[in-house]
Amino acid sequence: MPSPEQILNGLSAIANQWLFLAIAWHLFFAVLAGGLALGIRPSKRVGGVLLALPLLSVAALAWLAANPFNGILFTLAAIALLWIALRLPQERVHIAPLWLMGAGILLFVFGWVYPHFLETSSWLTYLIAAPVGLIPCPTLSIGIGLSLMVGNFESRAWSLALAGMGLFYSLFGAFRLGVAIDLVLLLGALLALLVICISKVAAPEQALAH
């Protein structure tokens, strides 16, 4: 595996060389979040496919940057999420309870303005060109955030796959690469896993009630 310095340099290069793509992904996520705010409710299947696409972007850029580790993991994760998404029901997504919605919004905002790797003299640049859709942690943060907003599509498989990636990359980023802000993603991943545990406890109780 490359040294932390090599990995950090590679991530920085991606963040600064693909600004136009970062802007495009910001527009993509703005449409998704804006649609939810305006009451547009896509099917769970469509929503899952849309949230899996940015992982393919991260994988492609990792391969181009000669980072096969990220390339392999994100390719496999994207394929897994697409496979899960295509098996989700066609029913519309439902907005999660307020506390979960709030956590999802915080993770979304964190990924949207992810203040690392991009070299800029103005914080305003992060509002439109932070490296979401380009590198792992901001992409996973926005993906987990949006997933939490819609109750993780009520899919344990989806939650485990996405939260597992978030857990690994947040720990790797914070403790291997020294990017302390990735601990925010760690909290989001742990919350997603907690939601799974809560749903497992609630399901038997509901069954007994009936």
| Residue 161 contacts residue 84 (beta carbons within 8 Å) | yes
* Per-residue pLDDT at 159: 93
Alpha-carbon gap, residue 131 to 126, rounded angstroms: 8
Tokens 């991260």, located at residue = 58
Instruction: Please give the distance of CA 49 from its chain centroid, rounded to a whole number.
Output: 13
Asked if the structure places residue 40 within a domain, the reply is: yes
The predicted-structure confidence for 18-63, as pLDDT tens digits, reads as follows 999 999 999 999 999 999 999 999 999 999 999 999 999 999 999 9
* Per-residue pLDDT at 199: 67
Asked if the structure places residue 134 within a domain, the reply is: yes
Q: Once rounded to an integer, what is the mean pLDDT over residues 56-79?
A: 97
Asked if the structure places residue 14 within a domain, the reply is: yes
* Per-residue pLDDT at 200: 56
Q: At what angle do helices 136-149 and 19-37 cross, to 10 degrees?
A: 10
Percent of the chain with pLDDT over 90: 87
Asked if the structure places residue 206 within a domain, the reply is: no
The predicted-structure confidence for 153-183, as pLDDT tens digits, reads as follows 999 999 999 999 999 999 999 999 999 999 9
* Per-residue pLDDT at 101: 94
Alpha-carbon gap, residue 159 to 195, rounded angstroms: 9
Asked if the structure places residue 210 within a domain, the reply is: no
Whether 201 shows a pLDDT value over 50: the answer reads: no
Q: Which domain holds residue 82?
A: 4-200
**Dihedral angle computed from the Cα positions of residues 184, 187, 189 and 193, in that order, rounded to the nearest 10 degrees:** -170
Whether 107 shows a pLDDT value over 70: the answer reads: yes
pTM of the model: 0.93
Task: Specify the number of domains making up the chain.
Answer: 1
Return the number of other C-beta atoms located less than 10 Å from residue 14's C-beta.
Answer: 23
Asked if the structure places residue 55 within a domain, the reply is: yes
Asked if the structure places residue 152 within a domain, the reply is: yes
